[in-house]
Chains A and B, each alone.
Chain A
């Protein structure tokens, strides 16, 4: 098994396309490298990216940038130059324009389009290149009923738009079927926290009931359109409401024959093993078709979980050592793959070792490659996706859609991930040797 893992890992690694030579791409790569190397600079960059959509003019934007850079002790030469020009009005306008372009470019790397309609073309292009997508609608936090209704309407619109476009895509057998049968072309990820303003960690039933009101019609619509609806997982504060909501709705007789639906397991949670057991037990006991898709991720709220726990004096609900999360990921992968008769496993990771482990374990236990889905994030996992496509794996790219204001929280989270010293992608970019990349955690 370990031997097969190493073989698969090296094969994928060999298929990774070379670093792109697009000048702008190189530029934001450079920005990330700078940020990863210096904590103060990293903070300044995040704070700047975060405030960008709230600035009222280029001058305002430049003033914020200068303010943040002012707090950085050692500024690399390009930023020193930026500080100098920020002294004049004309300089600020020019700096603002350059900075805005920089942030926009960064955002475009992670966000596929402003609206579902605008996303149709790039999604089709990905499909033609052999990768499916899951669309994710970025949005501001939902704090009112009107915002929850708006998000639900956007979800419905996205389903309709994609369902209208998808039949014209060329056939891609790898992406469209597994041992359980048809895999929907249209795939939308939704967030429970966006579907209700009433999510309260202390009273999950209130948010659950309110979100169910808006989720039910979306599920019905997805079923009628033959689309897949995936319910994303967020922080631990919403975990109980989210999990209970999924089970409650999928147990409703009216939804017993679809749509295809999915849930997410976060490997960084200490309790993730018990959670996955609960999901698998449910799937075993349920005769609902098609089977539940279970997307396994590492988890994207690590800092939030740790800080919140520390401020309250709680044990963090997440593993604090990266290796613990990585080991948990592999253990959960095996549980999930072992249950493939009842659920559809989807492994979402940019960690070459984790991906190779899933492929090798699935093969070692007699599974077909078609019975394993591999997922990556747009902007972070594009190269890995290309390599996996080259190996005829079913790859799905998680593609956020939305404007800059809506996308900022997402963007900051991705940047944080990409500049973390612990990130696998960081290791890969720094040229860590393949033996280390594939070493057991």
Chain B
């Protein structure tokens, strides 16, 4: 399989930055965008759901339709129809369509990055990376589907022919988050489509416009209208999809709480449902970075700070805790505090911004509550203040000295808050990691091969990063996904991901005729 990642923009070049700002101006002139409910090629009214700029609530980014249970039912019905036609196409043909959609996204890269800056306050570097990742998912799964169609080799005995192949499951409900507003909906949708399923996509209520751009690209490239529906809306639309007995696969990325609800709901098997639902879930994390006594702090400090505060900590892979060997804890805390103090909290559209606003007021309040708890139960070693103004800004905070029982150390904050804990040795650090219900990403800074091996052996996490930051998994290079309560163990952007969207079928044919093997 020959796959190469879409190159990110070289933002260190001034002309590249200028082209993005021009893209933003062009987008601003077109706001608000209209995002209809799209079912079976029919566009509903674009009204009922407003998407605004987290950095400036007065800026309306998109006016979207609001799908509810009725639209969800209609979309599944259309998808059932669409699934037949789409699944009958050879994988190579489906792959060509997905690759065509990738080309359409590629043509709109600047505009789509600008849209994320506005719709999700995602800073340029991350917004551009998100668009690239979306393109990568389309190309990668297109290639993977062609490979998968060849099936797997089985042991063959004389007189029989054994074959194993994979067929689409049918209708996939994709429920996507806002934090990777194009890449994550695209990854789940592309995988389901590549494998031959029809898809009903329910994007997060905070990012309908990015999801609409994805659906436009896929339809434009040749995905039949019935095979892909778009349901902008709230949780009720998603819940209706999960409960629908005609849905075969639920692909979900989002919070742990919703993830658990989905797992429970999908386990119901009403009489009208002749199959078991498959859930492909990627949920939260409480990601720890272990810093060994021999770590190179010149490298560790910036990498940890970016992992924790990039996109205001709103990545499921973000670093939430540092577990530092006590021999170097004073130095690390001092340097981290100094590095956090100089972070610039500001608008996502400014290249100079390190920490953009969080997604909405609810998020701001949640982060503020955890920050208050951190101050109460431990201490705040550094904070970078948010600018005055109307956006949902949360200060960047470094907390220290918290007791292990503190919710700040055990629950996912999903914001710009990093907590440092001192440990006597690596085993104590691994014990803490082991005590958490999450196992998504982990980090380790150490220059001892023995220590690295020990931590690798003891780490339950889905993605462990050694001597680098914990975010920025690349399709094909770092297949991504967590274990324990962090997810179903599927690896987005990896060689096994499509298996979540197909069912295996084995055929064994007796080739004996009159006692003679005829092959």
Q: Which of B95-103, B168-176, B293-301, B424-432 contacts A (4 or more CB under 8 A)?
A: B293-301
In A49-70, the 8 Å CB interface with B consists of 50-51, 54-56, 60, 63-64, 67-68, 70
Q: In the complex, A70→B449 CA distance in Å?
A: 9
Indicate the member of A140, A143, A205 with the most B CB atoms within 10 Å.
A143
Name which residue of chain B comes closest to A240, CB basis: B14
- Cβ of B467 to closest chain A Cβ, rounded Å: 11
Q: Which residues of the partner chain B approach A313 to less than 8 Å between Cβ atoms? A: 4-8
Q: In the complex, A436→B305 CA distance in Å?
A: 49
B473 interfacial by beta-carbon distance below 8 Å = no
- Cβ of B289 to closest chain A Cβ, rounded Å: 16
- Inter-subunit contact A64/B294 (CB<8 Å): yes
User: Do A237 and B12 contact each other (CB < 8 Å), given the known contacts A140-B297, A197-B342, A203-B352?
Assistant: yes
User: Do A205 and B7 contact each other (CB < 8 Å), given the known contacts A64-B447, A141-B298, A143-B302?
Assistant: no
- Inter-subunit contact B296/A50 (CB<8 Å): yes
- Cβ of A127 to closest chain B Cβ, rounded Å: 33
B45 interfacial by beta-carbon distance below 8 Å = no
Q: Which residues of the partner chain B approach A56 to less than 8 Å between Cβ atoms? A: 293, 327
Task: Render A134-155 as a binary contact track against B, CB cut-off 8 A, 1 for contact.
Answer: 0000001101111100000000
Q: In the complex, A321→B211 CA distance in Å?
A: 45
Report, as a range, how many residues of chain B touch the other chain: 35 or more
User: Do A68 and B449 contact each other (CB < 8 Å), given the known contacts A144-B339, A202-B351, A240-B14?
Assistant: yes
Q: In the complex, A314→B5 CA distance in Å?
A: 11
Name which residue of chain A comes closest to B327, CB basis: A56
Q: In the complex, A290→B449 CA distance in Å?
A: 53
- Inter-subunit contact A198/B342 (CB<8 Å): yes
Q: In the complex, A314→B8 CA distance in Å?
A: 8
Name which residue of chain A comes closest to B352, CB basis: A203
- Inter-subunit contact B338/A144 (CB<8 Å): yes
- Inter-subunit contact B10/A197 (CB<8 Å): no
Q: In the complex, A202→B338 CA distance in Å?
A: 21
User: Do A47 and B447 contact each other (CB < 8 Å), given the known contacts A64-B294, A143-B335, A205-B352?
Assistant: yes
Task: Render B345-357 as a binary contact track against A, CB cut-off 8 A, 1 for contact.
Answer: 0000011101000
B17 interfacial by beta-carbon distance below 8 Å = yes
Q: In the complex, A303→B298 CA distance in Å?
A: 18
Name which residue of chain A comes closest to B132, CB basis: A313
Across the interface, A146 reaches (CB within 8 A) one of B7, B338, B350, namely B338
Q: Which residues of the partner chain B approach A320 to less than 8 Å between Cβ atoms? A: none
- Inter-subunit contact B327/A197 (CB<8 Å): no
For chain A, the count of residues having a C-beta within 8 Å of the partner chain is: 36
- Cβ of A199 to closest chain B Cβ, rounded Å: 10
Q: Which residues of the partner chain A approach B14 to less than 8 Å between Cβ atoms? A: 204, 240
Name which residue of chain A comes closest to B302, CB basis: A143
Q: Which residues of the partner chain A approach B449 to less than 8 Å between Cβ atoms? A: 67-68, 70-71
- Inter-subunit contact A54/B293 (CB<8 Å): yes
Which applies to chain A's interface (DSSP): helix, strand, loop or mixed?
helix
- Cβ of A378 to closest chain B Cβ, rounded Å: 22
- Cβ of B13 to closest chain A Cβ, rounded Å: 8
A312 interfacial by beta-carbon distance below 8 Å = yes
Across the interface, A202 reaches (CB within 8 A) one of B5, B11, B447, namely B11
User: Do A409 and B339 contact each other (CB < 8 Å), given the known contacts A56-B327, A201-B11?
Assistant: no
Q: How many A-B contacts are there with CB distance less than 8 Å?
A: 90
- Inter-subunit contact B341/A145 (CB<8 Å): yes
Q: Which residues of the partner chain B approach A145 to less than 8 Å between Cβ atoms? A: 338, 341-342
Q: In the complex, A416→B31 CA distance in Å?
A: 53
B448 interfacial by beta-carbon distance below 8 Å = yes
A368 interfacial by beta-carbon distance below 8 Å = no
- Inter-subunit contact B12/A236 (CB<8 Å): yes
Q: In the complex, A201→B351 CA distance in Å?
A: 10
Name which residue of chain B comes closest to A71, CB basis: B449
- Inter-subunit contact A144/B327 (CB<8 Å): no
Q: Which residues of the partner chain A approach B448 to less than 8 Å between Cβ atoms? A: 51, 63-64, 67
Q: Which residues of the partner chain A approach B301 to less than 8 Å between Cβ atoms? A: 141, 143
Across the interface, B296 reaches (CB within 8 A) one of A54, A55, A147, namely A54
B124 interfacial by beta-carbon distance below 8 Å = yes
Name which residue of chain A comes closest to B12, CB basis: A201
- Inter-subunit contact B10/A312 (CB<8 Å): yes
- Inter-subunit contact A144/B335 (CB<8 Å): yes
In A192-210, the 8 Å CB interface with B consists of 197-198, 200-206
Q: Which residues of the partner chain A approach B234 to less than 8 Å between Cβ atoms? A: none
Q: Which residues of the partner chain B approach A197 to less than 8 Å between Cβ atoms? A: 338-339, 342
Q: In the complex, A68→B7 CA distance in Å?
A: 34
User: Do A147 and B338 contact each other (CB < 8 Å), given the known contacts A50-B447, A312-B8, A313-B6?
Assistant: yes
Q: Which residues of the partner chain A approach B352 to less than 8 Å between Cβ atoms? A: 200, 203, 205-206
Q: Which residues of the partner chain B approach A237 to less than 8 Å between Cβ atoms? A: 12
Name which residue of chain B comes closest to A235, CB basis: B12
Task: Render B209-243 as a binary contact track against A, CB cut-off 8 A, 1 for contact.
Answer: 00000000000000000000000000000000000
Name which residue of chain B comes closest to A409, CB basis: B298
- Cβ of A58 to closest chain B Cβ, rounded Å: 14
Name which residue of chain A comes closest to B477, CB basis: A311
Indicate the member of A54, A68, A146, A409 with the most B CB atoms within 10 Å.
A54
Q: Which residues of the partner chain B approach A143 to less than 8 Å between Cβ atoms? A: 298, 301-302, 305, 335, 338-339
Q: Which residues of the partner chain A approach B351 to less than 8 Å between Cβ atoms? A: 200, 202-203
- Cβ of B38 to closest chain A Cβ, rounded Å: 33
Q: In the complex, A237→B284 CA distance in Å?
A: 33
Indicate the member of B14, B302, B335 with the most A CB atoms within 10 Å.
B335
- Cβ of B414 to closest chain A Cβ, rounded Å: 24
Q: In the complex, A238→B298 CA distance in Å?
A: 17
B450 interfacial by beta-carbon distance below 8 Å = yes
Q: In the complex, A93→B305 CA distance in Å?
A: 36
Q: Which residues of the partner chain B approach A146 to less than 8 Å between Cβ atoms? A: 338
Name which residue of chain B comes closest to A60, CB basis: B294
B165 interfacial by beta-carbon distance below 8 Å = no
- Cβ of A242 to closest chain B Cβ, rounded Å: 12
In B419-444, the 8 Å CB interface with A consists of none
B484 interfacial by beta-carbon distance below 8 Å = no
Across the interface, B7 reaches (CB within 8 A) one of A201, A206, A240, A314, namely A314
B104 interfacial by beta-carbon distance below 8 Å = no
Name which residue of chain B comes closest to A146, CB basis: B338
Task: Render A53-97 as a binary contact track against B, CB cut-off 8 A, 1 for contact.
Answer: 011100010011001101100000000000000000000000000
Task: Render B185-197 as a binary contact track against A, CB cut-off 8 A, 1 for contact.
Answer: 0000000000000
- Cβ of A71 to closest chain B Cβ, rounded Å: 6
Q: Which residues of the partner chain B approach A144 to less than 8 Å between Cβ atoms? A: 334-335, 337-339, 341-342
In B284-311, the 8 Å CB interface with A consists of 293-299, 301-302, 305
- Inter-subunit contact A202/B17 (CB<8 Å): yes
Indicate the member of B4, B301, B339, B447 with the most A CB atoms within 10 Å.
B447
B125 interfacial by beta-carbon distance below 8 Å = yes
Q: Which residues of the partner chain B approach A63 to less than 8 Å between Cβ atoms? A: 448, 450
B344 interfacial by beta-carbon distance below 8 Å = yes
- Inter-subunit contact A54/B447 (CB<8 Å): yes
Q: Which residues of the partner chain A approach B12 to less than 8 Å between Cβ atoms? A: 201-202, 204, 236-237, 240
Q: List 14 A-B contacts (CB under 8 A).
A: A50-B447, A54-B295, A63-B450, A67-B449, A140-B297, A141-B298, A146-B338, A197-B339, A203-B352, A237-B12, A312-B8, A313-B6, A313-B7, A314-B7
Query: Chain A interface (Cβ within 8 Å of chain B)?
Result: 47, 50-51, 54-56, 60, 63-64, 67-68, 70-71, 140-141, 143-147, 197-198, 200-206, 236-237, 240, 312-314, 409
Q: Known pairs A200-B351, A202-B124. 16 more at Cβ < 8 A? A: A51-B448, A54-B295, A55-B294, A67-B449, A140-B298, A141-B302, A144-B334, A144-B339, A146-B338, A147-B335, A147-B338, A198-B342, A202-B17, A203-B351, A240-B14, A313-B4
Query: Chain B interface (Cβ within 8 Å of chain A)?
Result: 4-8, 10-12, 14, 17, 124-125, 293-299, 301-302, 305, 327, 334-335, 337-339, 341-342, 344, 350-352, 354, 447-450
Which 3 A-B residue pairs are closest in the complex by CB-CB distance?
A: A144-B338, A313-B7, A201-B12
